[in-house]
Amino acid sequence: MKSFEGKLAVVTGGGYGMGRSLVRQLAREGAAVAACDLSADNLAETLALVEGESAGAKVTSHICDVSNPQAIAEFRREVEEQQATTSVNLLFNNAGIGGGGSFVDGSIDEWEKTFNVCWGGVYHMCRAFLPMLVASDEGHVINTSSVNGFWAAIGRETPHTSYSAAKFAVKGFTEALKTDLEVNAPHVKCSVVMPGHIGTGIARNSAEILGGNSLFDMTEAQVAQARARMERAGMNLSNISDDTIREMAAQRADDFEHSAPTSADEAAQIILRDVKAERWRILVGDDAYQLDALVRSDPEAAYDSEFYDRLESEGVFNTIMREQGEG
């Protein structure tokens, strides 16, 4: 697929961050796009941006919780109806949230919600839309994993089990799907995307999806969890109030988005370039390449203290990412 002109793309998580950037860039390149998200306001902003820069582009918006198979089935029905089609060319499984850090003492509901969005969303979207990809003249599935799909950590003594398990599943599934498609639908390709630290609102949006509130309105239990994460990162918070913890969490989420080494727009450009090149393995960001090389060089030591020392000395992850605690 050397051009997106005249193609139809489905993008999950299209209301913000990397998903919004994918929608905008695909529209600029002449593709029709069906974008879904949980936030109607964010989707409306995405559509307004597209209308302002890509007049005439056919972009439809859809509210969909990708952790819910019934919602996905309805999304597919809306795409068929509103895009007047029985086939699609591109499926970007981009939606994701952070959370469910500890399997041992964390919330079961939070763990399963995170896993069901990050892995279940990919699985059920592929189940729903693969027949439409197979029905096209050429198709491509693009599944967003993470560097946490090959390294299940975000910092010293910071459990990161649900998100990492989901992203490992996405990576393994896509690698296996590559052979499956080559045998059974050779005109459909697939790629697994493994971004490093990308400037998105995942930390802020995850808190709202999992907790039903903003970081400024964190409950006492959420504040306690945030305090524990920060203390594990070496911060002395003995004289810090709960309200200050809320402010710090909100500031860190903002810093995570706006101080990232790779912006959402840059990440989308890399992904679309590599899809055209039919690369099945897409690393995004210098930090992703560095971490991939370090883990591959000595996988047995990838969770040792010396490995974290090496990450810090080589600047692979900055302080913002290590201390964010989720995402």
Topology at the third CATH level for domain 8-202+261-302: Rossmann fold (3.40.50)
Which DSSP letter does residue 197 get?
Answer: S
The DSSP bridge partners found for residue 281 are 192
- Reading the chain (327 residues) residue by residue, the pLDDT tens digits are 899 999 999 999 999 999 999 999 999 999 999 999 999 999 999 999 999 999 899 999 999 999 999 999 999 999 999 999 999 999 999 999 998 999 998 899 999 999 999 999 999 999 999 999 999 999 999 999 999 999 999 888 889 999 999 999 999 999 999 999 999 999 999 999 999 999 876 765 665 666 655 556 767 777 787 787 777 767 888 888 888 877 777 767 676 766 778 999 999 999 999 999 999 999 999 999 999 999 999 999 999 999 999 998 888 865 444 444 333
Instruction: Compute how many other C-beta atoms are within 10 angstroms of the C-beta atom of residue 205.
Output: 24
Residue 268 is encoded by which pair of tokens?
A: 């989308």
Q: How far is CA 252 from CA 143, 255, 284, 323, 327, in A?
A: 27, 5, 22, 8, 12
Q: What CA–CA distance (Å, rounded) separates 37 from 22? A: 13
Domain ranges of the chain: 8-202+261-302
Classify 260 in phi/psi space as left (phi over 0), alpha (psi -120 to 50) or beta.
Answer: beta
| Under 8 Å between Cβ of 157 and 232 | yes
The phi, psi pair for 256, rounded to 5°, reads -60, -40
Which residue has 């969490």 as its token pair?
A: 249
State pTM to two decimals. 0.89
